[in-house]
Structure 1
Amino acid sequence: SAKTDHILEVRLKKPVVYFPSITTFMVTFPQRKDIVEKFGDHWTDPKNIVTNGPFKLSAWEHEYKLILTANENFYEGRPFLDTILAYVIREKTTALTLYETGELEMVELPPVAIPHFKNHDEYENLPQLRGYYYGINVLKSPFDNPLVRRAFAHSIDRSRLPLLLKGEEIPSSSWIPNGMFGHNPDIGAKFNPVVAKKLLAEAGYLGGKGFPEIIAMYNTNDTNRLIGEFLQAQWKEHLNVDIQLESQEWKVFLNRLQVDPPQVFRLGWGADFPDPDNFMNLFISSSGNNRLRWSNPRYDELVALGATLVDPKERQLAYDEAQRILTETDAAMIPLFFATQNLLIKPYVKGFEMNSMELMYLKKVSIATDSIE
């Protein structure tokens, strides 16, 4: 309830130790109720939306660009920039070309270009609270057998991924990200091809014989293709199984995961707020983001417990046990690495900041016009 014009009091039904973290998530930001009620589904249109940040949304051409203009009434004072243009560019290589020709001031590098720019003055590498994983539909044969899932998880040499992707990614067999409370690098199915072969044999597929061809699906982009081809080769080398790769555009891919997830598929998660519950809650039985068709009552219990424990040691133990169920015992998903942002930023762009949740604070960004060539 609103105590005053500037104080909001929130009463919780039960202890939620990460509640302060939730207040950093954009869904908690104030909105004009009258605007939402007046315009309904169109309240976010540029002509209708009322925002309280340093910039206002002036135009939104879907699949093309956003135009932000300075908010003269921002409580911290006017931002330095008058206008920001943000373009939607599907191919990173296309965006890089536009950067090199001076059409863009900032760009995310495609993996193939990272080595060339890594020692460049304009290069920035920013760690993220973002995990990349391959999910498994545990209801589809042969992955309804946990021995098969564990075999696949143990047969990936994750240490090769940074060499492949070239972006200083952090390989990981555990799920809670590096840099976040609850991270434990000792958890997960470590690379062990001997164990992997043994598990597959115990599942009835000695030397990979009789194993059906598997479809592994990812949404179309260069990074996902590289990782898919890497896993395809790893599973062939260490398990002698054949994987058919299939890529789909993002919207089609998401619909497929919702309606009928394939046997194996790539997904990831970036932090909405900086707490492990945001990652562990994804895979509880009732989660709308659980594409694994997997359910484990003990896992659900531990995640619920972790949300209430005040003692950090007790909370760590709860998340450790939950992660072991998810990535080792049941092996319902296969964590691969924690991502980084690899950017090029023009030297005349000053004051740019991006945090580990990929949120940009744009108020202090300025252009040093005397430095533009």
Structure 2
Amino acid sequence: MTLRVLAFLLAVLPLACREAPRGLVVANGDDVSLLHPQRTASISDARVLQAMHAGLTRLDPQTLSPEPGLARRFEASEGGRRWRFELRPGLRWSDGLALQVEDVERSWRQLADPSQGSPYANWLEGATIRTTPADPRDSTDGGSLEIEFPHPQPSFAEMCAFPALAPIAGHAPPEQVGSGPFRFVSRRVRDRIVVERNPFYWDAAQVAIPAIDFLTVDSQVTALNLFLAGEVAYAPNAPELAVPALLAERGEAFQPQPQFASTFLRFQVTQPPFDRLEHRRAFVAAIDPDALAASLGRVRQPAWHLVPPESPHWEPPPVPRWRSAPPALPQPAREQRFELLYNSSELNRSVAEVLQAQWLANLDLEVALINQEWKSFLAAQRGLDYQISRSSWIGDYLDPLAFLEIFHSESGNNRTGWSDAVYDGLIEAARGESEPEARRLLLREAERRLLDQAIIAPLYHEVGLELIDPRLEGLHRNLRGYIDWGRVRWSPEEPPS
């Protein structure tokens, strides 16, 4: 589809005004891989999980400040090393059974258990959890929970709004029973997941949308067409080709905004060819992020670092000097086959083709492009069954550590095979440092080492290209792409007809 044809369609197709069949329809992206809050690592999964599972806190959709959720009160002491949560009385699971403070404790212990395989197990590493059950004689008492960390966790209230820390029912699979504003109805693989309003949600009276259909739509062009036809009210990513026309013709629905997210390449460092530092550096030095961003329409900001510039009070380390030197790959390495793995999407294909061209031009190497659907791609990345892999990360909380901790050797989100005692020591020292400037310096040095060792190749910092029906209220653009589905509603002035 050419830009001229797309501009014409945008001009002649008004946003349809008929209501979605089940209240709200979302073009959710890749097929959901796991409906398990503690094991997911996909933003498509997270959007559904945020509807089905509630945390002890939730975030203000505009400011991203933590607010009471399942916990009616929370407080920190000792610089965030100790946290206390007081649960609301009368909490229930989506099947009507009682949700108690002991369920939170059990869920958190399960998350921290290495045998469970959660990529977020390190969030609770070394923590001590104590609970005080609700007093059955006091109808206003929901029980309380205290957690003590071996190091400060100043962002823990924000982290508690993330699905990984949501309580999980012990009597039913998390795919079917949760505590969020919506509850599971049905799923058709590679088609849709349907959820409906949960009458047992603690804030059920404020949930205005009767049901949500999360459609599997891995093509951004298809998602755009569905949005223009009024078949979906929200699509998380518009295609780059459509950006100029959308800005000109659909400003009420399309307002790009920076996100706390980065796209980069991972190198699998346990086997040849990228077990050698000089090979990784040559491939990184051959990449021109500025030219890549220009090829994508200059919507995204070229990245020379992993941590996005939106990180509060952050100053990145210098770009490694070797990045400015002409890239060179030793002759023996040229006899090997090189592959770049990426998951299916128009954007990812475009990025892969630009990188392929840059490596050919700067290294005189033909790199094979391997395309896989999301589930296979994720399995290959987690199993280290790749050489170079396209990757992206959106910060789970607004702190540089949200990006840098994923490359700790014990992180389930590492997915490179890299283990470095110096880097691990910097991350652990930063976790234990309560003085802000000293902590920033430790994290800055950690990023410098990550980049110098060429474990990743930063490509660009993400921009939210969300398409939002202007008649929706409560669905706000923000740095994290966070959506509180329980606060989304149709405007009373312009309800769909």
Separation of aligned partners in 1, 2:186 and 2:257 = 29
Decide which of 110, 117, 123 is 2:254's aligned counterpart.
123
Determine if contact 2:175/2:184 at 8 Å carries over to the other structure.
no
Aligned pairs (5 A) from 1:301-312:
301-312=425-436
Decide which of 47, 54, 59 is 2:186's aligned counterpart.
59
Aligned pairs (5 A) from 1:5-154:
5-32=142-169, 36=170, 38-39=171-172, 42-45=173-176, 49-51=177-179, 53-76=180-203, 77-107=205-235, 108-119=237-248, 120-121=250-251, 122-154=253-285
Deviations along 1:97-153, one digit per CA (max 9) or x if unpaired, are 222222111223122222221232221223222221111122333323212222222
Aligned pairs (5 A) from 1:335-346:
335-346=458-469
Other-structure match for 1:237 = 361
Decide which of 433, 436, 456 is 1:333's aligned counterpart.
456
Specify the code of the residue in structure 2 equivalent to 1:7: S
1:315 aligns with 2:439: yes
Separation of aligned partners in 1, 2:424 and 2:288 = 29
Superposed displacement of residue 319, structure 1: 1.1
Separation of aligned partners in 1, 2:155 and 2:385 = 31
Specify the code of the residue in structure 2 equivalent to 1:358: G
Secondary structure at 1:2 match in 2: strand
Separation of aligned partners in 2, 1:167 and 1:142 = 32
Cα distance change on mapping 1:256 and 1:182 into 2, 3 Å = farther
Cα distance change on mapping 1:17 and 1:83 into 2, 3 Å = closer
1:170 aligns with 2:316: no
Superposed displacement of residue 297, structure 1: 0.8
1:282 aligns with 2:411: no
Separation of aligned partners in 1, 2:290 and 2:209 = 42
Decide which of 371, 388, 391 is 1:267's aligned counterpart.
391
The range that moved more, 335-344 or 160-169, is 160-169
Superposed displacement of residue 93, structure 1: 1.6
The range that moved more, 151-160 or 214-223, is 151-160
Specify the code of the residue in structure 2 equivalent to 1:333: I
Secondary structure at 1:353 match in 2: coil
RMSD over equivalenced CA pairs, Å: 2.7
TM-score (norm 1): 0.85
Determine if contact 1:56/1:69 at 8 Å carries over to the other structure.
yes
Separation of aligned partners in 1, 2:321 and 2:247 = 29
Separation of aligned partners in 1, 2:150 and 2:466 = 43
Identity of matched residues, %: 25
Structure 1 gaps, min length 5: none
Deviations along 1:301-345, one digit per CA (max 9) or x if unpaired, are 0011111111111111111111111112x1111111121221222
How many residues end up aligned between the 2 structures? 355
Superposed displacement of residue 192, structure 1: 5.1
Higher relative contact order, structure no. (Cα contacts within 8 Å, ≥ 6 residues apart): 1
Separation of aligned partners in 2, 1:360 and 1:344 = 13
Superposed displacement of residue 154, structure 1: 2.1
Separation of aligned partners in 2, 1:256 and 1:112 = 30
Determine if contact 1:79/1:363 at 8 Å carries over to the other structure.
yes
Determine if contact 1:21/1:275 at 8 Å carries over to the other structure.
no
Superposed displacement of residue 158, structure 1: 0.9
Specify the code of the residue in structure 2 equivalent to 1:314: A
Superposed displacement of residue 354, structure 1: 4.2
Specify the code of the residue in structure 2 equivalent to 1:324: R
Determine if contact 1:213/1:241 at 8 Å carries over to the other structure.
no
Specify the code of the residue in structure 2 equivalent to 1:173: W
Determine if contact 1:154/1:191 at 8 Å carries over to the other structure.
yes
Separation of aligned partners in 1, 2:313 and 2:271 = 31
Separation of aligned partners in 2, 1:250 and 1:232 = 21
Superposed displacement of residue 282, structure 1: 1.6
